[in-house]
Amino acid sequence: MATHPAPRFPDGFLWGVSTSAHQIEGAVQLREPSVWDVFTAGPGRVKDGSTAAVACDHYHRYREDVALLADLGVDAYRFSVSWPRVNSPGGLDFYDRLVDALRAAGVRPVPTLFHWDLPAGLDWLERDTASRFARYVSVVADRLGDRVDKWITLNEPAEHTLLGHALGAHAPGGELLFDALPVAHHQLLAHGLAVRALRASGATDVGIANSHGPTWPASDGPADREAADLYDVLLNRLFADPVLTGRYPDGIGELMPGDVPADLKIIAEPLDWYGVNYYAPARVGAPRGAETGFGGLTLPAELPFSVRGIEDRPRTDSGWPVVPEGLTELLTGFRDRYGDRLPPIVITENGCAYDGLDDQDRITYLDGHVRALHRALEAGVDVRGYFVWSLLDNFEWAEGYARRFGLVHVDFATLERTPKASYRWFRDLLRRQGRRTR
Ligand code: BGC
């Protein structure tokens, strides 16, 4: 546990917490199905056999959750808008109510327009899904844009491509390995089209939430370095380079479908800020001709790299290593790589899975990362905000309800919310940064 108060961040720094629609809303009968509803109905997809049919029932209990945000004292709340809900009668009314409640509580709404819950029947392998996304974004922006000024297009297209389409661990369950690359391109195109749609509706504060982490080669040997470079290209640069520089990393553009140079112009629409979700670095080496583990997953032997453990670190309940300085390394590395092309950064997710109400391990994790973030600021990286993942324990995708990321405990039998020690720790941190409970 930290003994010194966290350092002071600049005035105007945006403190927040994040959630996503599918993980908390429930009320599935009031909307069209998403690919996640279809996926979880299949046997053995989710570890505890659960679904998000009720989840935290946030759809009905959002007022209580907004009160928790106000009591916490955050500046902003990052949530996601469910595309299948917007497609359903009365669906947008829910986000109207949520946005109004947040504003009345003095909390700035920051919607993400896609956090993996694609309407069932749509497919990111199809180029047309990108244009459909842009049309949906226009509908949401026209409705909420008078009260929302900060927008996020996509959440983690990297994980959605890798887990959902390459490895089959997430919805829609594709196991296409490298044939999943068009899914990445179409999401990136959807991002660029969404930026244009948001701008057309008057938005002036637009970003993306991409997941990133340093890649550490398993050794200095050429085979390990080459494998780590490839991993870094696939997980980091494939999603950052086109958005920030208008180019794919060498060798990737040729693998993408469509008129790639024309698409890249759209993908590289200038952003007002760039969102980074950070959890942990990866140590990567040459393939070993056998399956390897990766964050609870099994990676097939035929991949051109293998993910090794970072053994000398504490681990969260998800088995992810706790490496706060990886955040400083990531951000200074981004500044060095992208230079003037990098807009201000916002950490759109950072957090960890631990059980228990007296979650000292989560406090240690978050405290370490807030300090690591401050070191990046001191090193001259322009970081403007930090959002904890997550406000509530929730439906943690293929892990079901077994992994608890919340500052607030949710009893999934009674749906009772109970703030954890980490909630109080974050509230104190916010007070020291000049924020007040509302
Ligand atoms: C996702 C969240 C998820 C969190 C923890 C991120 O990859 O955006 O939806 O719950 O990580 O796994």
Domain ranges of the chain: 14-286+320-432
Q: Is the pLDDT of residue 172 over 80?
A: yes
Spatial distance between the Cα atoms of 395 and 404, rounded to a whole number of angstroms: 9
Contact 130, 190 (CB under 8 A): yes
- Which ligand 1 atom is nearest residue 353's CA? 5
Measure 393 CA to ligand 1 centroid, in angstroms. 12
Average pLDDT, stretch 138-163? 98
Q: Taking the alpha carbons of 376, 377, 381, 387 in that order, is the dihedral positive or negative?
A: positive
Residue nearest ligand 1's atom 12 by CA: 396
Q: Three-state SS for 82?
A: coil
Q: Is the pLDDT of residue 263 over 80?
A: yes
Spatial distance between the Cα atoms of 280 and 286, rounded to a whole number of angstroms: 20
Cβ–ligand 1 distance for 396 under 6 Å, the answer: yes
* Average pLDDT of the residues of the chain: 97
Q: Tokens for 109? A: 């709404």
Catalytic one of 159, 269, 329, 349: 349
CATH of domain 14-286+320-432: 3.20.20.80
Measure 37 CA to ligand 1 centroid, in angstroms. 17
Q: Could you tell me the pTM of the whole model? A: 0.98
> Residue 211: what are its φ and ψ, rounded to 5°?
-90, 135
Angle among Cα 179, 183, 187 to the nearest 5 degrees reads 160
Residue nearest ligand 1's atom 5 by CA: 396
Q: Is the pLDDT of residue 2 over 70?
A: no
156 is catalytic: yes
Average pLDDT, stretch 150-172? 98
- 103-138 pLDDT, tens digit per residue, is 999 999 999 999 999 999 999 999 999 999 999 999
Measure 341 CA to ligand 1 centroid, in angstroms. 27
| Candidate from 22, 349, 396, 407 with most ligand 1 atoms within 8 A of CB, to mutate | 349
Contact 272, 384 (CB under 8 A): no
Spatial distance between the Cα atoms of 151 and 269, rounded to a whole number of angstroms: 14
Looking up tokens 């112009």, which residue turns up?
265
The per-residue pLDDT for 171 is 98
Q: How confident is the model at residue 3 (pLDDT cuts 50, 70, 90)?
A: low
Contact 120, 38 (CB under 8 A): yes
Spatial distance between the Cα atoms of 151 and 238, rounded to a whole number of angstroms: 22
Measure 409 CA to ligand 1 centroid, in angstroms. 17
Spatial distance between the Cα atoms of 236 and 207, rounded to a whole number of angstroms: 17
Residue nearest ligand 1's atom 9 by CA: 20
Q: Three-state SS for 135?
A: helix
> Residue 88: what are its φ and ψ, rounded to 5°?
-105, 150
Contact 14, 99 (CB under 8 A): no
